[in-house]
Amino acid sequence: MACRIVVLISGSGTNLQALIDDLAPRSEHGQIVAVISNKADAFGLQRAQAAGIPTRALSHRDYPDRALFDQALCNVIDEFAPDLVLLAGFMRILTADFVRHFHGRLLNIHPSLLPKYKGLHTHARALEAGDREHGSTVHFVTEELDGGPLIVSARVSINATDTEASLAAKVQQGEHRLYPLAMNWFIQGRLRLQDNRACLDGQPIPEQGLDLEDCETDKREHAHVLQQDQ
Ligand code: GRF
């Protein structure tokens, strides 16, 4: 049975698009069963509709507090009985109850090389600090904001001429390779949260997470070996 995936967004949804495109040829393994936004005008909702995916908009402004909004959001997500919930530019801090409810099946993508630069304005902060590299990270979501076990990161180098915009564009390109990779590991049953540690193929992932380049090299080598075996 296909892994049922719900994606939460607040904005443009380029990561959502990367996930949709990646799953399109193999919907028997994983299927995005709903895209939910806290903003009714999020462009990502149009991307989902264009792909024939059900959408819901649930405005946090219609709820008196965070706990009640999160409870309502939780109920809407549960209607779709997801195996996996992906935060893809969902710009809300989630309550501990929400996070606990989806324990082990809630992932986020963050635009920095975590644990550096949790929170907002990550590109500006990396530039201000004079960093030579930056990137994005996929992690399991726990109660600590951007602080759950790291899974995999995509690095980009920072040049002297980089601006916030040019850096954002480079980071985004990496994100579009990174999130589908982590999603597929989960779909294949290779990625799990065990005793609060991210594990791949039953082995704990190092605390700093894996590196996308290494994973893609491994994948190419694996494909090569398979081809030779045939
Ligand atoms: C991405 O940079 C992601 O890392 C962050 O929000 C942004 C979403 O971009 N959490 P998009 O809406 O997927 O284009």
State residue 225's pLDDT score: 60
State residue 227's pLDDT score: 62
Q: Whose CA is nearest to atom 1 of ligand 1?
A: 89
d(CA 109, ligand 1 centre) in Å:
7
Cβ–Cβ under 8 Å, residues 146 and 106: no
Domain ranges of the chain: 3-229
What is the number of the ligand 1 atom nearest to the C-alpha of 12?
12
Residue for token pair 């999130």: 179
Is residue 134 annotated as a catalytic residue, yes or no? no
State residue 224's pLDDT score: 61
Q: Which residues line ligand 1 (CB under 6 A)?
A: 11-16, 44, 88-89, 109-111, 136, 175
Q: Whose CA is nearest to atom 2 of ligand 1?
A: 111
Q: Superfamily assignment of 3-229 in CATH?
A: Formyl transferase, N-terminal domain (3.40.50.170)
pLDDT digit string (tens) for the chain, length 230 residues: 899 999 999 999 999 999 999 999 988 999 999 999 999 999 999 999 999 999 999 999 999 999 999 999 999 999 999 999 999 999 999 999 999 999 999 999 999 999 999 999 999 999 999 999 999 999 999 998 889 999 999 999 999 999 999 999 999 999 999 999 999 999 999 999 999 999 999 999 999 999 999 998 877 766 666 566 55
Q: Whose CA is nearest to atom 12 of ligand 1?
A: 13
User: Can you give the pTM of this predicted structure?
Assistant: 0.95
d(CA 14, ligand 1 centre) in Å:
7
State residue 219's pLDDT score: 73
Q: What sign results for the dihedral spanned by CA atoms 223, 225, 228, 230?
A: negative
Strands, sheet with 203-204, edge to edge from the N-terminal-most edge strand: 191-194, 197-200, 203-204
What is the number of the ligand 1 atom nearest to the C-alpha of 136?
4
State residue 229's pLDDT score: 59
Mutate-to-test residue for ligand 1 from 32, 45, 122, 175, highest number of ligand atoms within 8 A of CB: 175
